[in-house]
Amino acid sequence: MSRDIPLHGIVAYPITPFAQDGSVDLPKLRALIDRLLTSGVHGIAPLGSAGVLPYLSDEEREAVAEAVVSHVAGRVPTLVGVSAMTTERTIHHARFAELAGASALMVIPMSYWRLTDDEVFRHYEAVARAVSIPIMAYNNPATGGLDLTPEFLARLIQIPNVTMVKESTGDVNRLHRLVQAAGEDVAFFNGSNPLALDALVAGARGWCTAAANLIPQETLALHDAVRRQDLATAVRSFRRQLPLLQLLVRSGLPRTVAAGLEIQGFDPGPLRLPLRPISEAEREELRTILASLSSLEAA
Amino acid sequence: MSRDIPLHGIVAYPITPFAQDGSVDLPKLRALIDRLLTSGVHGIAPLGSAGVLPYLSDEEREAVAEAVVSHVAGRVPTLVGVSAMTTERTIHHARFAELAGASALMVIPMSYWRLTDDEVFRHYEAVARAVSIPIMAYNNPATGGLDLTPEFLARLIQIPNVTMVKESTGDVNRLHRLVQAAGEDVAFFNGSNPLALDALVAGARGWCTAAANLIPQETLALHDAVRRQDLATAVRSFRRQLPLLQLLVRSGLPRTVAAGLEIQGFDPGPLRLPLRPISEAEREELRTILASLSSLEAA
Amino acid sequence: MSRDIPLHGIVAYPITPFAQDGSVDLPKLRALIDRLLTSGVHGIAPLGSAGVLPYLSDEEREAVAEAVVSHVAGRVPTLVGVSAMTTERTIHHARFAELAGASALMVIPMSYWRLTDDEVFRHYEAVARAVSIPIMAYNNPATGGLDLTPEFLARLIQIPNVTMVKESTGDVNRLHRLVQAAGEDVAFFNGSNPLALDALVAGARGWCTAAANLIPQETLALHDAVRRQDLATAVRSFRRQLPLLQLLVRSGLPRTVAAGLEIQGFDPGPLRLPLRPISEAEREELRTILASLSSLEAA
Amino acid sequence: MSRDIPLHGIVAYPITPFAQDGSVDLPKLRALIDRLLTSGVHGIAPLGSAGVLPYLSDEEREAVAEAVVSHVAGRVPTLVGVSAMTTERTIHHARFAELAGASALMVIPMSYWRLTDDEVFRHYEAVARAVSIPIMAYNNPATGGLDLTPEFLARLIQIPNVTMVKESTGDVNRLHRLVQAAGEDVAFFNGSNPLALDALVAGARGWCTAAANLIPQETLALHDAVRRQDLATAVRSFRRQLPLLQLLVRSGLPRTVAAGLEIQGFDPGPLRLPLRPISEAEREELRTILASLSSLEAA
């Protein structure tokens, strides 16, 4: 068991590209990973929300985990999403990812029936016991349907290898409360794009973001400015990218990132139904936003 | 395509029993169906929320659908849950259930990413086009994560074989608005247990309920009293069973029904993790409630 | 101290008419009371939300209380609103209304700072001790800013002369829970117009409504149908008037009642700023709704 | 009309002390103002939420406004709360405060009936037209009952002398959106104590806070650290005072500040009913928190 915290900085969430026949397009996924690695992000996190984890079959999930981890090949740490409705399936995917060589695992309690605190705690405990690599506990009621308080998250990271927290409610008070409950050394990451500035100021170790698919340099610039305490630069960078971060939330990560990649000349293939492309008006807004951000990215 | 409305009255939602090795226990499921049929309920709905649909594999779902439909053998209509995250998987299960002989299908848009109205509409359209039996559109934001307004539900039932609506928000105003939006003949069913009285008064064709696993006679008595406009009897029956209906909501259907069946001498086997049994205090409360309701059930 | 419950049935909430110079128009208020008495409503409740209580000075409140109680002159019971931000002012108005001859008092805890349960309880206790007539405890978080649970309301009516509850959240489950917490004999009244049918079915003693300013016969018809257990007639009546009840909520009682009275030929004078008249589109909708309801009212 | 922005930095909100007979204690209020001025705060704001504005009579409000403005005597700017339910009363108090010599006015739309955007806009317009000093538009749905979006606040400050915004929702995204909607030069102030750090980082001109009654040096230290871009010091200061800021929100400003002043040896007199003192447990917690913060304050 390890209290390692293998991640920091900009943790990029690639989308999962699909071929025209609807199958997962692994070659294109590798190309997307290459783009991200070239941009200098600090970590790669396949099978997150942006990667439409819940829309993939078990086999597809395994193929993506294997492909990404082996393609990254240790150049940066990998954080593989292994959540599932049942504890049994979560353990299955956790073990698979560990064998594939993942640096860490991300687990969100996927809820249909509102789980009790005890059920969530023992779910994490069972998964954590089944592997030896570090786990990031993840709170995102908007997608997962269950809300874990900062105080409960502080309890979760007392499980031996649950060493990291990702918080995505978008409420900065949660982050401050997490530090109060778990101590200043708690390794927490921000998962709410429009909260990027505030979370880094509040002490987040990193920013888990799908924005890095489209504007990696800008996300890195914001992160670096806060790290060197250059508040004025950080605020300027944040304000520049905020319209994109808001659009990502409003129109949904997989739809918006796919449209943005297409605008940037990288064809991501179709979305998996029921997901459909953003509207033409949203696409136009996205085009304008990306154009205004392109100078730094081109540099 | 059919505008048939094959369901009415008390539509019972069996839980899915599991064997000690964690597999689905089909013989026990058939025994539970027998209990329900003997009690006189008007319909059987496998693979609902009570049946832990999202916790089952594709193969398990098919086995349950097949077992229930063939065991019921037309004695009452069957309503089979076929929801899935992707449109492709939903169609797969819809076709399977139709071939198995289901009377109708229940579809809730399972959401991870908040779907747009257009995405939900086209999802229903695609599923409806793939089968010829009637479909019940189902709104339950507490489990499905997506809220369909009465006005949107009224649009959904304009799809040729989407002929029924199940509403589970627990807000009676939604039912009144549905009637306003879709006309007095709209075939809607109540899915919120504590709203049973009000929904039937508002014109619901039936009550979709897991309470029928435990107190079928009481649910039938309430239904019949409203049907013959005997308001005093209906209110008395409702007040008697309300504590159970509230406990079902508070402690969750599969957990509470399983505990109740056990109290009544029917061993449902273990729950599927991460779900765990209700607490001893809840069990004591349940025991007291069931005892107070037993005279009618024994009759 | 009295456990009297002097009210039942349709309790009508008159608006407060203003003259062109902005002062309260007492002659017109008396004319409005006459309209209501002629229509056959069972009670009159001045200084409610519809009567813009919080927008009146202490002197205006006293003038309205005195004028209404003396003009009604015991023909039906009166329920006078006496709420204020401070306990001292509430007691002042409670005593004034008692001296003026009010049958009962309505008290909502007006909150700026979220009051604790203890503060609310002792506020009611202090007001109740200061008078000998019955008090109706009133819950309406949408206007009062504070939400009293059914269980807390059940505690409030243990205060000797707090004998009645008015519930306006619009959630019928609250009414069922109130009966559970306070017993079947609890005297509760409905204050949510779109919940009129359900509340009467659930056992409400009456319906506190500003709709009686515009469609008194229809409100009486619904009430009477439920009383004689004629569910079919009750549902028909409810569905007829529901569009008006919804518009009253959506556009606000004082604005909508004022516009409706004007359409019916009774000039209510201007609203008190910041309140302004409903839009022309809303007025057109109101005109159509009232026309469709006019046959019963003319009878 | 003036686009002046007379306030910045720590704007302190004194509570309103009461004498044992329940009347406003003006000498004690002056002593509290002296404490605040000595501590070095940048502005004084009587008749805010902490000053229990809605619990005071018109005469008491005038006495407080006059006493504070004349006692401060221009040593720092004053921001006087003039909100009332009606437009007429708000204008009355606005004119009184201007004549008394206030530097600026704070106006929150106090809502009983949910006001429309048009009603709120014209309310501000009418008040602004009646005076020539600057006005701060204030959003606080938790107390005022009405929620003004950042985009609507951006519209409000287009009224000639509405030059400042105070935002108290506690959601930092609102502040970022306000800057997007109104431009980087928008003069906004933070009114949510637990958001103090984030709001200053986001560009707030100042922090409107009742915490300055108890820990003025700590609030000034946080403000100054952000001003000189010393993020590490700012975060340390914020974390030190956060437990107090959270307690102020949880237990309510007037109650908690009164208890804190008493602990610090300044007797604030009784609260005005229905408000009552915090519990003994809360007082003990407050005592511990204040003790841990005392070294800086004593310095």
- On whether any CB of chain C is under 8 Å from the CB of D277, the answer is no
pLDDT value at A299 more than 60: no
Amino acid at D283: R
- D237 confidence band (pLDDT: 50, 70, 90): very high
Does C275 fall in a domain?
no
Contacts of B99 (CB under 8 A, 6+ apart): none
CB contact under 8 A, D119 and C275: yes
A 10 A CB-CB count for B288 gives: 11
For residue C274, whether the previous peptide bond is cis, meaning omega lies within 30 degrees of 0, is: yes
CB contact under 8 A, B87 and A274: yes
ipTM of the complex: 0.96
pLDDT at A4: 96
CB contact under 8 A, D113 and C252: yes
pLDDT value at B207 more than 90: yes
Question: Nearest chain B Cα to A58, which residue?
Answer: B57
- d(Cα A89, Cα D192) in Å, to the nearest integer? 43
CB contact under 8 A, B173 and C194: yes
How is residue A26 written in tokens? Answer: 């692994």
Question: Nearest chain C Cα to D50, which residue?
Answer: C113
- d(Cα A129, Cα B273) in Å, to the nearest integer? 15
Does C292 fall in a domain?
no
- d(Cα B85, Cα A274) in Å, to the nearest integer? 8
Q: Do at least 3 CB pairs under 8 Å connect D with A?
A: yes
- D112 confidence band (pLDDT: 50, 70, 90): confident
Sheet of strand B135-139, all strands in order from the earlier edge strand to the far edge? B43-44, B9-12, B206-209, B187-190, B162-167, B135-139, B104-107, B79-81
* Among B60, B109, B112, B53, CA closest to B79: B53
Using DSSP's 3-state secondary structure scheme, residue A87 falls into: helix
Question: Nearest chain B Cα to C202, which residue?
Answer: B235
pLDDT at B297: 83
CB contact under 8 A, B143 and A116: no
How is residue B11 written in tokens? Answer: 């539509």
Task: Tell me what the mean pLDDT of segment B202-218 comes to.
Answer: 98
Q: Is residue B187 within 8 Å of B205, Cβ to Cβ?
A: yes
- Spell out the long-range contacts of A263-268 with Cβ–Cβ below 8 A and sequence spacing 24 or more: A263/A287, A263/A290, A264/A214, A264/A290, A266/A31, A266/A32, A266/A35, A267/A28, A268/A15, A268/A17, A268/A18, A268/A28, A268/A32
* Among A199, A249, A256, CA closest to A223: A199
**pLDDT digits over C155-199, tens only?**
999 999 999 999 999 999 999 999 999 999 999 999 999 999 999
- B114 confidence band (pLDDT: 50, 70, 90): confident
Chains B, C: CB contacts within 8 A come to: 58
CA distance C54 to chain D (A): 7
For residue C236, CA distances in Å to B198, B202, D57 come to: 15, 10, 49
Q: For residue B53, what is the domain's CATH number?
A: 3.20.20.70
How is residue D234 written in tokens? Answer: 């700012």
Q: How many domains does chain D have?
A: 1
For residue A274, whether the previous peptide bond is cis, meaning omega lies within 30 degrees of 0, is: yes
Q: Tell which B residues from 241 to 270 touch A, by Cβ distance under 8 Å.
A: 252-255
CB contact under 8 A, A274 and B118: no
Tell me phi and psi for residue A292, to 5 degrees.
-70, -15
Does D119 fall in a domain?
yes
- B2 confidence band (pLDDT: 50, 70, 90): low
Least confident of A216-230, B107-121, C7-21, D147-161: B107-121
- On whether any CB of chain C is under 8 Å from the CB of D141, the answer is no
How is residue C93 written in tokens? Answer: 């108005």
Does A144 fall in a domain?
yes
- On whether any CB of chain C is under 8 Å from the CB of D19, the answer is no
- On whether any CB of chain B is under 8 Å from the CB of C151, the answer is no
State the DSSP string of A24-37: B-HHHHHHHHHHHH
Least confident of B98-107, B144-153, C97-106: B144-153
CB contact under 8 A, A114 and B252: yes
Task: Using alpha carbons only, give the angle B189, B94, B184 rounded to the nearest 5 degrees.
Answer: 25
CB contact under 8 A, B235 and C202: yes
Q: Report chain B residues whose CB lies below 8 A from the CB of A143.
A: 112-113, 145
Instruction: Give the bridge partners for B80, in sequence order.
Output: B105
C236, C240, C246, C248: CA torsion to nearest 10: -130
pLDDT value at B1 more than 70: no
Does B177 fall in a domain?
yes
C235, C236, C238, C242: CA torsion to nearest 10: 130
- Could you give the residue ranges of the DSSP H alpha helices within chain D? 26-39, 58-72, 87-100, 117-130, 141-144, 150-156, 172-182, 196-201, 216-227, 231-251, 253-263, 280-292, 294-298
pLDDT at D139: 95
For residue D274, whether the previous peptide bond is cis, meaning omega lies within 30 degrees of 0, is: yes
- On whether any CB of chain A is under 8 Å from the CB of D227, the answer is no
Using DSSP's 3-state secondary structure scheme, residue D124 falls into: helix
Using DSSP's 3-state secondary structure scheme, residue C78 falls into: strand
- d(Cα A47, Cα A79) in Å, to the nearest integer? 9
Q: Is residue A273 within 8 Å of B126, Cβ to Cβ?
A: yes
Residues of B classed as catalytic: 138, 166
- On whether any CB of chain D is under 8 Å from the CB of A129, the answer is no
Q: Is residue D159 within 8 Å of D183, Cβ to Cβ?
A: no
pLDDT at D2: 61
Does B116 fall in a domain?
yes
Does B2 fall in a domain?
no
- A112 confidence band (pLDDT: 50, 70, 90): confident
Using DSSP's 3-state secondary structure scheme, residue C186 falls into: coil
- d(Cα A266, Cα A17) in Å, to the nearest integer? 11
Average pLDDT, chain D: 96
pLDDT at C114: 85
Does D212 fall in a domain?
yes
Cα-trace Rg, chain A:
18
Q: Among the options C13, C28, C124, C166, which is catalytic?
A: C166
What count of Cα atoms within 13 Å lies in the side-chain half-sphere of residue C228? 9
Q: Report chain D residues whose CB lies below 8 A from the CB of A232.
A: 229
| Closest CB to C274 among D49, D119, D275 | D119
B284, B286, B292, B296: CA torsion to nearest 10: -140
pLDDT at A2: 61
- d(Cα B118, Cα B31) in Å, to the nearest integer? 42
Domain that holds residue C169: 9-216
For residue B149, CA distances in Å to A34, B152, B173, C115, C173 come to: 43, 5, 11, 34, 20
Average pLDDT, chain A: 96
How is residue C37 written in tokens? Answer: 């008495």
Average pLDDT, chain C: 96
CB contact under 8 A, A231 and D197: no
pLDDT at C112: 74
- A144 confidence band (pLDDT: 50, 70, 90): confident
Q: Do at least 3 CB pairs under 8 Å connect B with D?
A: no
- d(Cα A16, Cα B123) in Å, to the nearest integer? 21
Q: Report chain A residues whose CB lies below 8 A from the CB of B22.
A: 88
How is residue C238 written in tokens? Answer: 């409810």
Q: Report chain B residues whose CB lies below 8 A from the CB of A15.
A: none
Would you give the distance in Å from CA D141 to the centre of its chain? 15
Q: What secondary structure letter does DSSP report for D206?
A: E
- d(Cα C168, Cα D212) in Å, to the nearest integer? 39
**pLDDT digits over C36-81, tens only?**
999 999 999 999 999 999 999 999 999 999 999 999 999 999 999 9
Q: What secondary structure letter does DSSP report for C18?
A: B
CA distance D235 to chain A (A): 7
**Share above pLDDT 70 across residues of chain B, in percent, rounded to a whole number:** 99
- d(Cα A45, Cα A210) in Å, to the nearest integer? 9
Angle of helix B117-130 relative to helix B87-100, nearest 10 degrees, comes to 30
How is residue B55 written in tokens? Answer: 């916790």
- d(Cα C277, Cα A208) in Å, to the nearest integer? 50
CB contact under 8 A, D173 and A180: no
**pLDDT digits over D33-70, tens only?**
999 999 999 999 999 999 999 999 999 999 999 999 99
**pLDDT digits over A245-293, tens only?**
999 999 999 999 999 999 999 999 999 999 999 999 999 999 999 999 9
Q: What is the longest distance spanned by two Cα atoms in chain C?
A: 50
**pLDDT digits over D184-211, tens only?**
999 999 999 999 999 999 999 999 999 9
**pLDDT digits over A7-63, tens only?**
999 999 999 999 999 999 999 999 999 999 999 999 999 999 999 999 999 999 999
Mutation to test the A interface, candidates D239, D244, D249, most A Cβ within 10 Å: D239
Average pLDDT, chain B: 96
* Among B272, B277, B297, B278, CA closest to B64: B272
- C2 confidence band (pLDDT: 50, 70, 90): low
Q: What secondary structure letter does DSSP report for D15?
A: -
Surface-to-core class of residue C239, CB atoms within 10 Å of its CB (0-12 exposed, 13-18 middle, 19+ buried): middle
Q: Is residue A99 within 8 Å of A88, Cβ to Cβ?
A: no
- B39 confidence band (pLDDT: 50, 70, 90): very high
Is residue B281 within a helix (H) or strand (E), and if so which, with residue range? helix B280-292
